[in-house]
Structure 1
């Protein structure tokens, strides 16, 4: 899926377009992103951070000691890159190798680009709410989930001070899933077997 201008877009061949219904679950499953912004001096900054996609905003936090947040200009354009599993694909795995030998290596991967306006939230209550929701997201599947309220309030306050929040008002979404969709069923089966033999789970790396 794509709704950005061609000169700034993610290269997505027609057979590599991620199903629109899969995009939000993909971002939720990865739950991290590389936030890329450009400072007033024209130099780029990038930070890996935990994220949640809530409505029309991607939200996350970074360390106060990280100078990146101070270089962010509120309302300026930003890019968040969410990447899933990736793997080298050997041409020796293709069934067609034995037929005609016209095969070459490639790389399978999935990625989502979110673009929009970025804002910094140096607000303890905003950050507390975000950390609480992030914790609930990642603890919910546990038999005995930990909650922010399990820690002493003064200890939580102390650990929130070194954190600064950030949000991206999502204005465009591009999603790519390069999973051997353009290969035959036999070739995809060979890739799945090859990945499994290499100790990789093929389920997220090969189209069904």
Structure 2
């Protein structure tokens, strides 16, 4: 990923926050001379390794777990919000007419080494943690014990877990940081007013950081 210095994210915790807030990633693998992409929800364990570990699971019928070997390098892409930016939102455009449209976004790329975990205990732990993470805000959060044991046993046998040790974490927050302060602020306020709150507020935070 091309990352100009003004869009780079050196803060690893900021990238961890993005992954945890937007855990539905794209797992990109390479085997037999071809690329494959799978869309999977991930659980991030910040405490493991130098840069964290990603956990997920796939259907046993999905060939990805058989096409990779333990230790293979993979890439997982996590995308937060994105938004079109009109040059009309930049006050400087109306003075100098030297602005063009662009697209702003926040992404994190996690490079790592994959391990296939085809064991029931690991699979159950993975499913339980993902469920707890995403069902916790429900009035009556679902748990594995809510379903019949034989049903859960059959379901867990139908999936395979994957563990990815992150070796490199690269972020790009493209928020018009290369523009004038007033341009960043006005575009961020306009986006927020239009409902693109995540990008809008991120732009306003970038403007605040630039003003310091």
Describe the SS at the equivalent of 1:206.
Answer: helix
Q: Are 2:36 and 1:45 aligned? A: yes
User: Does structure 2 retain, via aligned residues, the 8 Å contact 1:109–1:205?
Assistant: no
Change (3 A) 1:204 1:149: farther
Whether 1:147 and 2:116 are equivalent positions in the alignment is no
CA distance in 1, matches of 2:121, 2:57: 13
Distance between the aligned counterparts of 2:142 and 2:133, measured in 1? 11
Deviations 1:43-84 (A, max 9, x none): 111101010111231111112222222211221111111111
2:109 maps to 1:117: no
- Give the Cα separation in 2 of the matches to 1:185 and 1:150: 53
Q: 1:131 to 1:207 in 2, by over 3 A?
A: same
2:140 match: secondary structure: coil
Q: Equivalents in 2 of 1:185, 1:152: separation in Å? A: 58
2:178 maps to 182
Match of 2:210 in 1: none
Q: Distance in 1 between matches of 2:12 and 2:121?
A: 33
Q: Find the aligned partners of 2:135 and 2:201 in 1 and give their Cα distance.
A: 23
Residues 162-196 of structure 1: CA distance to partner in whole angstroms, max 9, x if unpaired?
A: 21111111111111111122222321232124324
RMSD: 1.7
The structure with more helix, counted as a fraction of residues: 2
Paired residue total: 198
Contact 1:50 1:60 in 2 (8 A): yes
**How far has the Cα of 1:197 moved from its partner?**
4.8
Which residue in the other structure is 2:209 paired with? none
Inter-partner Cα distance in structure 2 for 1:204 and 1:51:
25
CA distance in 1, matches of 2:106, 2:128: 28
Residue 168 (structure 2) aligned to one of 165, 172, 193: 172
8 A contact 1:12–1:176 mirrored in 2:
yes
* Unpaired segments ≥5 residues, structure 2: 206-212
Match of 2:63 in 1: 67
Structure 2 residue aligned with 1:206 = 203
Displacement of 1:38 in angstroms is 0.9
TM-score of the two chains, using structure 1 as the length reference: 0.88
Residue aligning to 2:133 = 137
TM-score with structure 2 setting the length: 0.86
Whole-Å separation in 1 of the counterparts to 2:196 and 2:30: 36
